[in-house]
Chain A
């Protein structure tokens, strides 16, 4: 779930007329001082980090003077809170707290509806309060069509023992919170605490909102870079991977870098799963053999070969991995030979130098295994392929054995791909397909035309050309199955090539290698 910073959440609340403390954002100590001067009086300096319990980590501090605000901000900026570097602080007027409340909205899977929660005791320790003082907490399921009525919100507040003007004002705030949650499609939205000051004013003093990842595309105004819940900022590779996913809707590609700063011999494995359930079991199989995960990758939901290719290359960009393990549920419905071709292209281009075990069980697995096995002799590291009748445990065992054996073949360096003499090219959805017709003239098999999954190629004077329009190929009729490159390499004369750039990857690799 995409988290919003406190200040972003407060902006949204403000737009619904919810009062928030006066204040502003500072990314330098000087800015913090200036803000404190403008606000006048005592201020609070709050580190903007996506974690709970900031106060106990020194991320929320009081400053009596602008000078103090500056020095507090200096200490906070650049400090790391649970892996996050604090890049900004929020400087706010300090409130004289009389009483604190809690309000939250969450999508509850049991109710299958948004549920609004209100507690007449808020602030730190709200979770314990909720467990111990049931009378202080009230909740209400919201009818998604009607929304939360203001009278319902007032009654919710009443049920926690609050009355009078306070009840009315708190009811209003709860209604606004729901509206913000609904409008920005929040999985959770919370104000904790709602503060009543000694002069009887109400403020949303802190606010946490997570937006539904799947709805982020409808809210460009939120400026969410990666619609995923990270408990730290995304790494360079994660940014690159996210772009691949964002620009190609076919199938799912999920990438998390699980470790940073590791090197060969430490037991980190590039893990590449397919489907959540099977991936979890496959990871368990590695972990129980004392390996560690360098990546968590999921390519499932019938992704094209091109996506698997890019995923594999992103994993291989981590120079410290000791092995590559791809394993999903074992009995996948997607046609597994697409993934096999993606792996083969990636492993051959990058000359995979660590052992790989690829378990592609399921639909058309025989063909998938054959494609992988055929490529093994041309890859320096050992590559083994398995199907549904081999368990994840067995495959992890094999990888372990290969890593321990450490057999890496000496292969002659591949000659660079020659410039095509008579190029015939067309664009695919995310790349370019190139046939060197000069080579095709020497080719007897013409395997590209036979194996093109979508059958969009035909021979013209013995040379492969499209039998559909260029536009149709680009729009998706070419599904980037990579048959016209991979099959051509093994069965044809090698005239077929599919160029699939991954923006930013080469630069990132150079950087990682230097480290």
Chain B
């Protein structure tokens, strides 16, 4: 199995007629994603890559049938409205690709999603990819590269950096280790599905035997994963690397950050906390494949 995306999910692309929307729709379709509809207000009636384009999400739903996922290629200032439109129409998973979405807009989307029982990946994400099943977003760039870089296997990959998502999965694949799903949670401070939410999904997926995580300084996502491990809510082996060791911590401008975080968010703090609860934290990025191999070997894989 896989999480979030496979070949059966019915996918809508919002902003399908734009530069990125068009190019990535081709990637998704060629990789096997079941893209059934596109939406761009004012451009309804046409098609992109043979996929019908509708003016509104509701129209797409009525004409093309139920939609499981919407991938948004929408300019950042318009993302809030497009995301609310998809959530209101009943779409339960959104992938919000663009960068620079205002944070208060993200908070509004979070609230609306919560109410509707919907989830979203991003913003500022490269997307999600389940090898040989489907891709949401732009991981791999084009279907041919994605096919040659990734293959199915026992490891779940979750990353806060887009490029590193592909890089980790690629270097793992070079060592013969395949993946269930790769998730780029998004590069912003507040995202829809942060690491702790993603590892919960991997926990529930029987094919995922171990998780590889790329963390970064700032936010408390990695600490929350450690909390889940401690609470027994995430029980699979975790191999992690935390980037940003050399980054000098910026001069702090506000006290509120320090009060809220109370020491969380630092490189040391994250590494220590994860090791405390039994995660394998490697010091060098290049050690990930080897460490993962060892963990899998212990599992008899």
Contact = CB atoms under 8 A, between A and B. Distances in A.
B246 A249 contact: no
Given A277-B216, A280-B247, A331 B258 contact: no
B121 to A, nearest CB: 14
Contacts of B145: 333, 362-364
A388 B99 contact: no
Contacts, number: 193
A281 interface: yes
B219 A188 contact: no
B160 to A, nearest CB: 7
Interface residues of B, number: 64
Given A280-B244, A329-B162, A329-B163, A104 B254 contact: yes
A106 B163 contact: no
Interface size class of A (residues with CB under 8 A): 35 or more
Interface stretch (A26-34, A112-120, A406-414): A112-120
A117 B102 contact: no
Contact of A331 (B99, B167, B221, B245): B167
Given A302-B20, A333-B166, A363-B145, A106 B104 contact: no
Contacts of A50: 253
- For the complex, would chain A's binding face be called helix, strand, loop or mixed by DSSP majority? mixed
Interface string B1-42: 000000000000000000110000000000000000000000
A3 B250 CA distance: 14
Nearest to A144: B107
A393 B111 CA distance: 43
B64 to A, nearest CB: 27
Interface stretch (A163-171, A213-221, A374-382): A213-221
A261 interface: no
Contacts of B158: none
B190 interface: yes
B99 A301 contact: yes
Contact of A143 (B111, B187, B190, B194): B111
A415 interface: no
A208 B108 CA distance: 24
Interface string A121-155: 00000110011000001010001110000000000
Interface of B: 19-20, 75-77, 99-104, 107-108, 110-111, 126, 138-142, 145, 149, 159-164, 166-167, 169-171, 174, 187, 189-190, 194, 214, 216, 219-221, 224, 243-247, 250-260, 262, 285-286
18 contacts: A82-B251, A104-B255, A106-B257, A107-B107, A108-B260, A110-B260, A130-B259, A190-B255, A275-B162, A275-B164, A277-B160, A277-B163, A278-B167, A300-B163, A302-B20, A329-B166, A330-B163, A362-B163
Interface of A: 1, 3, 50-52, 82, 102, 104-110, 112-115, 117, 126-127, 130-131, 137, 139, 143-145, 182, 185, 187-188, 190, 192, 208, 210, 212-215, 217-218, 229, 231, 249-250, 252, 274-278, 280-281, 283-284, 287, 300-302, 328-335, 361-364, 388-389, 391, 393, 476, 479
